[in-house]
Amino acid sequence: MEQERYRRALRAPRPVNILIGFLALGFIGLFLVLPLIVVFSEAFRQGLQVWWKSISDPDALSAIRLTLLVALIVVPLNTIFGLTAGWALGKFRFKGRSFLITLIDLPFSISPVISGLIFILLFGTYGWFGPWLTAHHIQIIFSVPGIVLATLFVTFPFVARELIPLMSEQGTEEEQAALTLGAGGWQTFRRITLPNVKWGLLYGIILCNARAMGEFGAVSVVSGHIRGETNTLPLHAEILYNEYNFTAAFAVASLLTLLALVTLIVKTIVEMKNDPRRRS
Amino acid sequence: MSIKLENISKTFNGFKALDSINIEFADGKLTALLGPSGSGKTTLLRLVAGLEIPDPDPAGRILFNGKDVVNEQVGRRRVGFVFQHYALFRHMNVFENVAFGMRVKKRSERPSQEEIRERVFELLRLVQLDSMYNRLPSQLSGGQRQRVALARALAIRPEVLLLDEPFGALDAKVRTELRRWLRDLHERLHFTSIFVTHDQEEALEIADRIVLTNQGRIEQTGTPEEVFHNPANEFVMRFLGEVNVFHARVDENAAGQVSLKERGELSDANLLIRPHDFQIHLENPPKGSRIAAVIQKIRTAGPIVRIDMSDEENKAILVHLSHEEFRAMSLACGQRVFLTPRQLKIYANGKKKPK
């Protein structure tokens, strides 16, 4: 009885409730659901065949291949880096630790376009290392290595950001216990440290992968937009769009959107597994 | 196994946690490291385990059965370590936690699956948790977790068992149960055990020997009876139980006679009396030193009667009486009584004064 009264007191009048509900639904519909529908309806506007032709076009296939290649190089590297950083910065306290953590966040706080420009200034023809690279016939900018470097830089923080607070919170007591029980350093890492962060690590990898495949700004600056060679999926979509080839552009965009949806689903599953109520 | 520390110091960022410690832990005994927090007792335990490295200069030695193990790694020292917050492997069930120490052995020394299984269940029966072998640590109560931690430490057949405030995070009832149980276990298994605690009651109840630490130094070592009845200094006496402290004056002219300081006098010694060492008089006793006091509060709930009094300077005095004594005297709040000490200790500048 008492509880029911409190509950009623906390509840807003019905018309207000309905109004707020519709407002929220309207917002979600307009800004989240509608764009999704637009992407897919535009992509399939001229039928499944045109969609298939758009994404099986040699230039599109090359863009898909390049995007996958970049992710295949960048994600493992940043996973290793993130684990190392998480371990060093999460499990130990030392001078300069907070400075390092800030430094890792740098790629987040810099505009992606600037990130790309940094690499042009370093490795471009007129950049710091430009003459030396030219002399040795090494091409970084406007080719695949530049795209990999720019993506590596932009997706640097994802895994580390996920692991530092987690490892910091878990502390080192379990590792110490493992050591007293006779485990070596590698055994302790493999059997204790790694399993304890596996869900956080997976979550970081998923985010890192999504960004590596979807990155536009930094990659756009260093790629040079050479069709069939240095175009990633997002760049390819932009080029098609600029050429008024809307259906093809949306077809490519639908691929990226699908990737985003799959990422979201996997992320949700990981989060459910990672639920603190199921951890100690 | 006997453990001996010679001239061991440990400094953390300029803070001296331990200052040239010399101590021996006898074979097969249960020793308590007792002291306030920050006194260096946990550091001492971690040094024995190998989880901390002693200061290299001046070089000290840690001897296990006469053999220096300072440069020996943690895993090779064969010590069972039990952490205050259990440190169970959160992603492994109880069985795997206990089996861990056997699974990480070198292939040539590793027991077979069947042997591991047998040993784990033998240990789980010992800690009365064999029915919970497939639970995760998060599904256990604090007392159960600490028992798993103990079984896990015993799985490597250690020669020494080190326990860092093992019952500190548990509630009072579970704590008393577990410490009796630990005492029984120690009696059955008979290895050298050292446990850290800041609870003097716990130390007095289960330890064979007590080592009192304070500010990185050892204040006294002895059996519970020795340290309780003959505290080496004021710190030990204050730490081992409730005590009333009176400021006193030593009269050098009258053969070092000690008297309570009068108002305005400088005190140069402390006079310590335990609450149960007072005799209460209803009338002013004819001779001898006595303290006039007024009863402020009487608490009869508990095994003893606790009486708060205040003296003429309004200083609080705590007196303990047995229920029998209390009934025989019929005391009431506001009543004026006289106290004479049955026993007292005098320490000048913290040191014991020969009387």
- Chain B residues whose beta carbon lies within 8 Å of the beta carbon of residue A279: 90, 138
Residues B109 and B148 in one domain: yes
- Chain B residues whose beta carbon lies within 8 Å of the beta carbon of residue A184: 75, 104
Q: How far is B35 from chain A (nearest CA, A)?
A: 22
Q: Is A173 on the interface with B (CB under 8 A)?
A: yes
Q: Is B169 on the interface with A (CB under 8 A)?
A: no
Question: Considering B180, B212, B239, which residue would you say is the last residue of a domain?
Answer: B239
Q: Is B136 on the interface with A (CB under 8 A)?
A: yes
User: What does the pLDDT look like over B55-83, one tens digit per residue?
Assistant: 988 888 999 998 999 888 888 888 999 99
Of residues A174, A176, A279, nearest to B51 (C-beta): A176
Contact A181 B138 (CB under 8 A): no
Q: Is A194 on the interface with B (CB under 8 A)?
A: no
Of residues A181, A187, A195, nearest to B91 (C-beta): A195
Instruction: Report whether pLDDT(A47) > 90.
Output: no
Q: Is A172 on the interface with B (CB under 8 A)?
A: no
Contact B156 A182 (CB under 8 A): yes
- Chain B residues whose beta carbon lies within 8 Å of the beta carbon of residue A194: none
Q: How far is A270 from chain B (nearest CA, A)?
A: 16
The pLDDT of residue B259 is: 65
Of residues A177, A182, A192, nearest to B105 (C-beta): A182
CATH of residue B276's domain is: 2.40.50.140
> Phi-psi region for residue A96, left (φ > 0), alpha (ψ -120 to 50) or beta?
left
Among residues 3-32 of chain B, which lie with CB inside 8 Å of chain A? none
Question: Considering B239, B268, B295, which residue would you say is the last residue of a domain?
Answer: B239
Residues B263 and B227 in one domain: no
Residues B49 and B179 in one domain: yes
Residue B338's domain comprises 244-352
Q: What is the spatial distance between Cα B221 and Cα B232, in angstroms, rounded to a whole number? A: 9
Q: What is the spatial distance between Cα A162 and Cα A197, in angstroms, rounded to a whole number? A: 10
Report the 10 Å Cβ neighbour count for B336: 11
The pLDDT of residue B350 is: 46
Residues B325 and B342 in one domain: yes
Contact A279 B137 (CB under 8 A): no
Residues B138 and B268 in one domain: no
**Chain A: residue nearest B96 by CA?**
A191
- Chain A residues whose beta carbon lies within 8 Å of the beta carbon of residue B105: 182
The pLDDT of residue B261 is: 63
Residues B65 and B155 in one domain: yes
* DSSP-derived secondary structure for A95-159: TTHHHHHHHHTHHHHS-HHHHHHHHHHHHSTTSTTHHHHHHTT---TTSHHHHHHHHHHHTTHHH
Quote the pTM value: 0.80
The pLDDT of residue B329 is: 87
Contact B101 A195 (CB under 8 A): no
Task: Indicate the angle between helix axes A58-91 and A97-104, nearest 10 degrees.
Answer: 170
Tokens of A4: 């029911």
Q: For a pLDDT cut of 70, what percent of chain B falls above it?
A: 92
Q: What is the spatial distance between Cα A169 and Cα A171, in angstroms, rounded to a whole number? A: 5
Question: Considering B213, B239, B265, which residue would you say is the last residue of a domain?
Answer: B239
Instruction: Report whether pLDDT(A279) > 50.
Output: no
Contact A177 B90 (CB under 8 A): no
CATH of residue B62's domain is: 3.40.50.300
- Taken as a whole, chain A contains a residue count of 280
Q: Are B275 and B320 in contact (CB under 8 A)?
A: yes
Residues B77 and B221 in one domain: yes
The pLDDT of residue B208 is: 94
Domain count, chain B: 2
* DSSP-derived secondary structure for B258-284: EEEPPTTPPP-EEEEE-GGGEEEESS-
Q: For a pLDDT cut of 90, what percent of chain B falls above it?
A: 56
Q: How far is B73 from chain A (nearest CA, A)?
A: 9
What is the ipTM score, two decimals?
A: 0.82
Instruction: Report whether pLDDT(A245) > 60.
Output: yes
b/e code B14-46 from CB counts within 10 Å (16+ = b): eeebbebbebebeeebbbbbbbeeebbbbbbbb
Average pLDDT over residues B2-21: 91
Residues B189 and B112 in one domain: yes
Residues B233 and B112 in one domain: yes
User: What does the pLDDT look like over A161-188, one tens digit per residue?
Assistant: 999 999 999 999 999 999 999 998 899 9
Contact A280 B136 (CB under 8 A): yes
Residues B83 and B176 in one domain: yes
Contact B101 A182 (CB under 8 A): yes
Q: Is A192 on the interface with B (CB under 8 A)?
A: yes
Residues B322 and B281 in one domain: yes
Of residues A184, A187, A280, nearest to B90 (C-beta): A280
Contact A173 B100 (CB under 8 A): no
User: What does the pLDDT look like over B253-289, one tens digit per residue?
Assistant: 655 566 666 655 666 788 899 999 998 988 887 766 7
Element (H, E) at B9: strand B3-12
Instruction: Report whether pLDDT(A276) > 70.
Output: no
Instruction: Report whether pLDDT(A280) > 50.
Output: no
Residues B11 and B32 in one domain: yes
Average pLDDT over residues A116-138: 87
Tracing tokens 């769009």 back to the chain, one arrives at A241
